Structure 1
Amino acid sequence: MEMKAVAENMAVPSEILYPTGLTLGVVDFLNDVSYQVMRTEDQLEDIFRLRHDTYKHAGYLEGNADGRFRDELDLSPNVHNVAIYLSGALVACIRLHLMTAEQRESCAIGIFPAEINQRLDEGNIMVDSSRNCCDPKLESRYRALPLAVIRAAGLLAVHANAKWTLATIKEGHIPFFRRILGATSWHDGGVQYGGLDRATTIHLLGASVENLRRASKTKQQYFLSTPEERSKLFDGANGPVPSSVRQILTGEIVDPYWA
């Protein structure tokens, strides 16, 4: 059933406004999106190859002989490499690190240790997103694809009761993260990052998960999710987990988190 038809037949849960315009288009797009945490070497192979092709296309890699791009952070115990599927085809991926005072490995902390360690010392839980990749052949065709990718960070943040989501990004991507996540700069200026074949300047942004929760009820409904989607994804589902935005919007499932 199309989202517009659903809107005419089912009431939207209290305090959640039914999306319109561009946001409705994103929600419609997410109906065909699913997520999977890749755990085995065979599964990770697909992500590493997509990551390699994306970074090479963008000019950050000259290209590796094996056609894969990975690093030591892909082996850390707090990592979640998430694949994003569209109608069953792998189209994007993102690497997430769930950071606590006891488990601090991530891309961001290696570049901006002072800003992040201080907040971890205070007991905050954070989700650091890195290696965001969209199939370069599809990104221009599906403008909502980057939103589907960054949604994965929100899924883990809600699941783990995190306070912040982090992003280490180049300057040109800052407006997107500010607009979509309400992110703010955590470091004055950028830092040279040498983990790629072409050095680039990286900025650190942080976004409050509480602000994201509030915004999801009124203007960014694509971050809505059910407890079942979050639990299946991060607690061991063996296959892709469909997006559950529609179930929250139609009232099929009521999650107190969004109340």
Structure 2
Amino acid sequence: MDILDRVEYRRVDLANRRDPVYRLRYAAYRREEWVSENPEGIATDEYDRSPNARCYGVYIDGQLVSSVRFHHATPDMRISPCMRMYPDLLNGFLDAGQSYIDPSRFTTDRDTALAYPALPFLTLRVAAMACEYFTATYCLSAVREEHVAFYRRVFGSREIAGDGHYPGLNFPVKLYAAEVREIRNRVADRFPFFMSTPEEREAMFGDDADAHYLGLIRPTARQAALAEDRFSPVPDAAE
């Protein structure tokens, strides 16, 4: 929990191609040769222009260290990267009146990831907050085989579809999902740093987009966990 005292979040203006998050993505993906070189030195795709897309940078001690994007898909707004890979399954969810958060473009600074094993937790905290703010039915995870154990252990995710190919990347993924209402309290008990106050969620996801691009947002997990009396020993990976 103490690491959160050094963390801040920033909402990204996805229309600004000069935003440093695009360069962070590019550096991470080029390192693994997941994307081709381009003269701008940025990684972006059509989903950055979707009306239901939001993206966030994560900062430690004022330095950008990771980012994640997500789409909030509803019966009235069905755009998301996973929808392209699994349209029959996900349209079925939406046809039934359900909704989901589809996180994507999860990227980290390599040196920081080595120094801070908690970085995946700090970054995916954005998705956890989004699920609560938007009262989503599911949180999806399109993950590589080697990352499956993490999503099962942390979020209780289960596989709902086999291999697909994520738009713009050259490796297969599997589709996992966690039912938000089912896992919320269990995750909060085990990992209270995922928690947040309504005020933080409003600052992160509120409708007044211009206002929310202006500054860095400090996490409120400590206050939220105290309010619900959910403090428990922090796992080694999150220290």
TM-score (norm 1): 0.82
What do you get for the CA RMSD once the two structures are aligned?
A: 1.8
Report the Cα offset of residue 47 of structure 1: 1.1
Residue 73 of structure 1 deviates from its aligned partner by: 0.5
Counterpart CA distance in 1 for 2:78 and 2:123 is 23
Q: Distance in 1 between matches of 2:131 and 2:106?
A: 16
Contact 1:31 1:246 (C-alpha < 8 Å) held by counterparts = no
Mapping 1:172-191, distance limit 5 Å: 172-187=146-161, 189-191=162-164
Query: Hey, what does 2:76 align to over in structure 1?
Result: 102
The alignment status of 1:169 with 2:169, answered yes or no, reads: no
- CA distance in 2 between partners of 1:44 and 1:249 (Å): 36
Runs of 4+ in 1 over 3 A off after TM superposition: 40-44
Question: In 2, distance between residues paired with 1:180 and 1:89?
Answer: 26
Deviation at 1:103, TM superposition (A): 0.4
Matched, 1:205 2:193: no
CA distance in 2, matches of 1:154, 1:160: 10
- Residue of structure 1 in register with 2:90 after alignment: 116
The whole-number CA distance in structure 1 between the counterparts of 2:137 and 2:3 is: 28
**Aligned-residue offset at 1:44:** 5.9
Amino acid in structure 1 at the alignment position of 2:111 = K
Amino acid at match of 2:176: L
Gap regions ≥5 residues in structure 1: 1-26
**Shift in Å, 1:217:** 3.6
Query: Hey, what's the Cα distance between the residues in 2 that align with 1:112 and 1:211?
Result: 23
> Which stretch of structure 1 is more off in the superposition, 106-115 or 206-215?
206-215
Contact 2:81 2:167 (8 Å CA) reproduced: no
CA contact (8 A) 1:45 1:68 kept: no
User: Is residue 2:114 matched to residue 1:140?
Assistant: yes
Contact 2:81 2:166 in 1 (8 A): no
CA contact (8 A) 1:216 1:222 kept: no
Percent sequence identity is 30
Residue number in structure 1 paired with 2:198: 227
Is 1:243 matched with 2:219? yes
Alignment partner of 1:76 is 2:44: no
- 3-state SS, counterpart of residue 31 of structure 2: helix
Structure with the greater alpha carbon radius of gyration? 1
Aligned length: 224
TM-score by length of 2: 0.88
Per-residue Cα deviation, 1:4-56 (whole angstroms, up to 9, x for no partner)? xxxxxxxxxxxxxxxxxxxxxxx221222121221264486211110000111
Q: Counterpart of 2:41 in 1: which secondary structure?
A: coil
Cα 1:94/1:85, change in 2 over 3 Å: same
- Partner Cα separation in structure 2 for residue 248 and residue 194 of structure 1: 36
Asked if 2 retains the 8 angstrom alpha-carbon contact of 1:185 and 1:206, the reply is yes
* Counterpart in the other structure of 1:30: 4
Conserved 8 A contact 1:178-1:184: yes
The 1:192/1:38 distance shift into structure 2, 3 A limit, reads closer
**Offset, 1:191:** 2.1
**Distance in 1 of aligned mates of 2:98 and 2:7:** 30
Tell me the SS of whatever aligns to 1:228: helix
Could you tell me whether the CA contact under 8 Å between 2:12 and 2:19 is conserved in 1? no
